[in-house]
Every structure is written in C-alpha cells, then in structure tokens.
C-alpha cells in the first residue's frame, strides 16, 4: 500500500506542484527586489517589474488559495491602511474630474502598494527577505555615492546631488528612511554578516549623500531618528554607539566649520528671503483656503495643481509649485476632513502599534517600522509631499512589508545571541 501510494500519479503531481510554487515564490522575491532597486534608475523598468510581480502573485494566489493568508500580527496594519484608502474615495468620486481622481487613487494607493501585499502573502522565508534587503541596500549605497560624483563633476549644473533618480528631494526622503535601517542592521546581533557588511558601506555612502544632497529636511529628520534608533542598543553595544556619536559629531563639526553648510543650516528659519521656505508657506496657505472652501471632501484627489493654478495661488509664491510640499496640508486640501482623518488613523495605528510592540518585546523590526513611518511620512513629510513619490513609495512599502514579515517569522531571542552560541 505504501509503495503504491508513493508511486501514484497524485503524489508526483502534488510534489511537482509544490516545487513549482516554491520556484515561483523565489522568482517573485527576485522580481520584487528588482522592482524597488531599479525604480529610481528607470521608472519604466520598475513599472514592468512591478507588473510581472503582480502577475506572478495573482497566479500564486490561484494555485495556493487554500493555504495563502495574511499573518495575524500584520492584519491590523493592513486594516488601518484600508481605512485610509477608503476615506479618500469620496474625494475621488464626488469631486471634480473623476478620471483624474481614479487614476491617482489606483496609482498612489494600490499600484505602489503591491510589494507590501505580495511580501505579506507569499514571502515567508527569512533568507528570501534578507536577500531582498541585501540587494536593495547595495543598490541604495550606489545611489548615495553617485551624489558625490554629481557634485564633484558639477553634473546638471547643480551643486546638489540627486543620485540615480531625478529628484533631489527624492533621495533625501530615502536617506531619512534608510539611515535607521542600516544602523539597526549593524547593531542587531542576529542579522546576517553579508547584510551587516553592506550596511556599513551604505552607512558611509549615506553620510556622503547627506553632505552632497544638502537637504535641510533630511538633516533635521536624521538628527531626530538617529538617537531613537541608537537608544535600543545603548547598553549592550557601547562601542558601536560611540562610533555613531563620533559620526554625528564629525557631521556636526563640518556643518559648523564650513561656511556653505553653516549658512544653509541657519537658513532653515529664514522665511523672508529664502524662497524655498517662504514659497512652501504660501502653498500651505493655499491648501487651507481650498480646505475652507470644500471642507468635507476637498478639491479632489490628484487635483491640487489644477485648482492651485486657477484661483488659489498667492502672488507671493514665485516658483509655481505643483504640490503643497507637505503630506498633511496637501491631503487636507485634496481629500477634505474625511481623507485627513483617515490619514491620521493610518499613521497613528502604524506608529502606536509598532511602538507598543517594541516596548513590550524589544523587537528591532518594530523599532524600524516606527522609524520608517515617522521619518518618511511624518517628519520629512513636513517639507515635501512624499506620498506621491512613485519610486520612493514603492520602496517605503517594500521596507515595511519585509520588516513586518521578519517580525512574524524572526521573533527576538529571549537570551543574548552569544549565550545561545555558547
């Protein structure tokens, strides 16, 4: 009976099906990693890779529909984001141009969200997640180093580096996300050696990019998130903390000693002659005007620019900006109080849930979930509309997906790693 059963076609078909699914999951992991790694270099390639990943995911969902599931510990995060997405529907369907609104809705909230959902559904092996993060960390290190080449050789007739993408603020936002990430990868004992080595190299590249990019918003954000990240390891790894503090002191010393950087840092509070600051303030005022006129649903998702150029732009704003350069003001204008409350709920849940879990279990991945959302959406989101950065948001969701999955499959050890090895 046993020999017959094992030699039956059903056994072999089932075995082949499992091998096929495993191979497809591996291909899916590679495709997602390529999607986020290449999006800044070429949006077209990133879009194609994202489409391939989605197609593989749909096929896997059909093949594995009886076993596929969202981990219980991550369902709350998914529900919170769903509430936010649904809260923007009135602004999409009931205001202005529905075609523009629906395109913006699908592009911003669903299409760029694909890496997050695909990772939670199918990528359940730690080494897949680590390899994906390793590839992206290496590419991002190159991205940061390119800013040095751009500044040294005066490429683009600009004294600020922009990396592999086309936006100076784009790489600045990524720096805010990635600095806490590489620090935790360095500090955390359980992280694989290859990722630690790449994180060290990428850390120095990030420091280079902080100087070459010259984003004041990134400077302030990193000054806030660096102590938050290092505090977790303060007691256990004093040597590495000292290294981090030395890097911070070196950074601060250069900022103070070099007239160019000193003047730029002091310009943060200049709201009169610094057009970058004052024009942002005028767009915020325009956003509030739009909200006051349409408080419930706003002017419509994706329609800020149209209304801004047709009656809401102040004459004092000289750069003819296309968005509010602030996540909260921009969505308040476009989605009204309904979408704004949804945004606050989404962010509050992610921040509070991860912080609560971190205090309870000291899981480094909870700490990184907290710093990722805090740095990119909340802090840097005060000076830029980061939610509409295509490549950056795809990377944002990629990082959160990997971190949430690692949190589930790699809980913190109750004893130090050295003790376990002994």
Q: Please give the average per-residue pLDDT across 300-323, as a whole number.
A: 95
Note whether residue 237 is domain-resident: yes
Confidence of residue 240 (pLDDT cuts 50, 70, 90): low
Q: pLDDT tens-digit profile of 167-222?
A: 999 999 999 999 999 999 988 888 999 999 999 999 999 999 999 999 999 999 99
> Residue 412's pLDDT is what?
58
CA distance 11 to 13: 6
Confidence of residue 140 (pLDDT cuts 50, 70, 90): very high
Note whether residue 208 is domain-resident: no
Element (H, E) at 290: helix 275-293
- Assess contact for 150 and 203: CB atoms under 8 A: no
> Residue 337's pLDDT is what?
98
27-31, 307-311, 406-410: segment of lowest average pLDDT: 406-410
Q: Is the pLDDT of residue 235 over 90?
A: no
Q: Which of 136, 154, 184 is nearest to 39 (CA)?
A: 136
Note whether residue 320 is domain-resident: yes
Q: Which of 65, 53, 66, 67 is nearest to 25 (CA)?
A: 53
Q: Is the pLDDT of residue 7 over 50?
A: no
> Residue 411's pLDDT is what?
65
Note whether residue 188 is domain-resident: no
33-42, 111-120, 227-236, 276-285: segment of lowest average pLDDT: 227-236
Q: Give percent of the chain with pLDDT exceeding 90.
A: 74
* Rg over CA atoms, the chain: 23
Q: Is the pLDDT of residue 414 over 80?
A: no
Q: How far is CA 80 from the centre of its chain?
A: 17
Note whether residue 186 is domain-resident: no
Q: Which of 343, 365, 341 is nearest to 354 (CA)?
A: 365
Tell me how far apart the terminal alpha carbons of the chain are, to the nearest angstrom: 47
Confidence of residue 257 (pLDDT cuts 50, 70, 90): confident
**34 or 156: which carries more pLDDT confidence?**
34
Confidence of residue 77 (pLDDT cuts 50, 70, 90): very high
> Residue 142's pLDDT is what?
98
> Residue 11's pLDDT is what?
36
* Burial (0-12, 13-18, 19+ Cβ within 10 Å), 228: middle
The number of beta carbons lying within 10 Å of the beta carbon of residue 409 is 12
> Residue 75's pLDDT is what?
95
Q: What are phi and psi of 70, to 5 degrees?
A: -90, 130
Q: pLDDT tens-digit profile of 346-357?
A: 999 999 999 999
pTM (2 decimals)? 0.92
> Residue 14's pLDDT is what?
54
156 token code pair? 């683009």
> Residue 228's pLDDT is what?
86
CA distance 378 to 224: 12
Q: Give the structural domain span for 400.
A: 3-144+216-421
- Assess contact for 115 and 32: CB atoms under 8 A: yes
**392 or 273: which carries more pLDDT confidence?**
392
> Residue 416's pLDDT is what?
40
Note whether residue 415 is domain-resident: yes
- DSSP at 110: I
- DSSP at 321: -
Q: Please give the average per-residue pLDDT across 69-95, as a whole number.
A: 95
Q: What is the average pLDDT value for the chain, to the nearest integer?
A: 90
> Would you list the DSSP string of 200-238?
HHHHHHHHHHHHHH--HHHHHHHHHHHHHHHGGGTTT-H
Q: Would you put residue 203 in left (φ > 0), alpha (ψ -120 to 50) or beta?
A: alpha
Note whether residue 49 is domain-resident: yes
What is the domain count for the chain? 1
> Residue 3's pLDDT is what?
44
CA distance 56 to 64: 12
Q: Which of 402, 405, 378, 359 is nearest to 176 (CA)?
A: 378
- Assess contact for 34 and 52: CB atoms under 8 A: no
135-139, 202-206, 406-410, 416-420: segment of lowest average pLDDT: 416-420
> Would you list the DSSP string of 130-161?
HHHHHHHHHHHHHHHHHHHHHHHTTGGG-SS-
* Three-state secondary structure call for residue 258: coil
> Residue 291's pLDDT is what?
98
Note whether residue 256 is domain-resident: yes
């Amino acid at each position: 009976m046993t020999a017959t059963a094992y030699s039956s076609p059903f056994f072999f078909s089932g075995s082949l099906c499992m091998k096929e699914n495993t191979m497809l999951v591996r291909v899916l992991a590679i495709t997602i990693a390529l999607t986020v790694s290449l999006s800044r270099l070429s949006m077209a390639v990133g879009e194609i890779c994202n489409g391939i990943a989605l197609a593989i995911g749909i096929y896997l969902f059909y093949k594995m529909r009886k076993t596929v599931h969202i981990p219980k510990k991550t369902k709350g995060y998914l529900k919170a984001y769903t509430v936010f997405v649904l809260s923007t529907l009135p602004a999409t369907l009931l205001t202005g141009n529905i075609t523009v609104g629906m395109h913006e809705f699908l592009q911003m909230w669903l299409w760029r969200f694909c890496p997050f959902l695909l990772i939670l559904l199918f990528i359940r092996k730690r080494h897949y997640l680590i390899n994906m993060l390793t590839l992206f960390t290496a590419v991002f290190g190159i991205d940061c180093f390119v800013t040095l080449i751009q500044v040294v050789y005066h490429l683009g007739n600009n004294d600020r580096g922009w990396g592999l993408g086309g936006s100076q603020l784009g790489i600045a936002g990524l720096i805010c996300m990635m600095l806490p990430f590489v620090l935790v990868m360095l500090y955390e004992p359980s992280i694989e050696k290859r990722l630690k080595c790449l994180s060290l190299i990428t850390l120095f590249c990030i420091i280079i990019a902080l100087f070459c990019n010259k984003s004041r918003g990134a400077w302030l954000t990193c000054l806030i998130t660096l102590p938050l990240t290092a505090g977790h390891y303060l007691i256990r790894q004093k040597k590495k903390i000292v290294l981090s503090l030395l890097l911070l002191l070196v950074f601060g010393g250069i900022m103070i000693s070099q007239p160019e950087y000193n003047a730029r840092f002091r310009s943060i509070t200049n709201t009169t002659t610094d057009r970058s600051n004052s024009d942002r303030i005028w767009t915020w005022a325009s956003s509030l005007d739009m909200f006051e006129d349409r408080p419930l649903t706003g002017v419509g998702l994706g329609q800020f620019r149209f209304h801004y150029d047709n009656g809401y732009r102040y004459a004092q704003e000289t750069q003819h900006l296309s968005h509010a350069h602030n996540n909260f003001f921009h969505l308040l204008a476009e989605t009204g109080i309904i979408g704004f409350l949804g945004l606050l709920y989404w962010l509050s849940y992610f921040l509070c849930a991860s912080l609560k879990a971190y205090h309870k279990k000291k899981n480094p991945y909870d700490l990184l979930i907290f710093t990722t959302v805090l740095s990119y959406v909340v802090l840097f989101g005060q000076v830029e509309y980061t939610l509409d950065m295509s490549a950056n948001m795809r990377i944002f969701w990629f990082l959160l997906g990997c971190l949430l999955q690692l949190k589930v499959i790699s809980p913190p050890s109750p004893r130090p790693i050295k003790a376990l090895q002994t």
